[in-house]
Structures are given as structure tokens and as C-alpha cells.
Amino acid sequence: MRKTAFLGGVLACLLAVGVPAPAQASAARLHWGPVESAAGHAGKAKADVWITDFGAETFVVSGRLYDRDRHPGHCAAIRARFHYAGGGTGWSRTRRTCSAKTSFRLSSDGEIRRVDVRVCLYDRVRRVNFKCHADAITPEIIAGWPI
């Protein structure tokens, strides 16, 4: 008997028996929606935010970051503050863009109970964030969403 025929028969048998498929690498994502900075003199920063399940070992905030300020020295910045289930907090690295849109991914170092997503305008000359706005995201808020 040839190897390929044998392996094909074993695979067909496993599929017929119903062996469960391996777990998916990425957790389910929920669309939180837009988070926008406070309006600047000529624009704002905006992020379209997606989050993973709060029960995940590593919580991920991802999406697209948009620079909507026409001032040449202003850019968009996003950062997340994770409130860990075991106590304490931690900040993600800041992601910045001066282009129309850029993808971002911010992740925690463990299970969390809350995340604050902060979007700001960034002044490249002074190297400071300004006109910031933060959304607090908790499991209780998501549980209250209509299905």
C-alpha cells in the first residue's frame, strides 16, 4: 500500500468521525467603533477600534488610526491603558501616524478587567500630545449591548 493512499484513508476516517478542528489562532473581535480626539483648531485624530474578548489571556485593541488635522505639524496618536485582573495598570506603546490612515495593534500582558483607549493629536515640533479623549471600555458596557 502506498503512503499517500494510507494517509488519505486515515484523514478521511478522522473527518468522518468528527475530530474537532484545531482552535483558531485569533480570538473573536468586537467592533467598539470610533474614538476621536477633542477637536483641534483645524481637525482631529480618529481611531476605528476593534477589541477581543475580555476573557482572553492577552487582550488586543486594534483597528485603523486616522490623521484628520490639516496642520502639517500635527499627527494622530493612540495609546491604551490596561487595568489588569490581578491589580495594577500598564500602558501600551504609543502608535502615531501623520498619514491619512494606518493600522495599529495594542496588546496587554495578561487578562484585564478594563481598558482605556486614548486618542490624541500629536505636535511633532513640541513632541507632545494634546486635545486627547479617552473611552473606558469594560465588560459591563459590552454586556449591555443589544444583540
Domain ranges in the chain are 26-143
Which candidate, 81, 88, 75, places its Cα nearest to that of 37? Answer: 75
| Ordered DSSP codes for 95-121 | EEE-SSEEEEEEE-SS-EEEEEEEEEE
Per-residue pLDDT reduced to its tens digit, 69-84: 888 889 999 999 999 9
Average pLDDT of every residue of the chain: 83
pLDDT for position 147: 59
What class, spelled out in words, does domain 26-143 have in CATH?
A: mainly beta
Q: Which residue has the cell 493600522?
A: 103
pLDDT for position 10: 40
Residue type, 44: K
Residue 33's DSSP bridge partners are 49
pLDDT for position 40: 65
Mean pLDDT across 30-58: 89
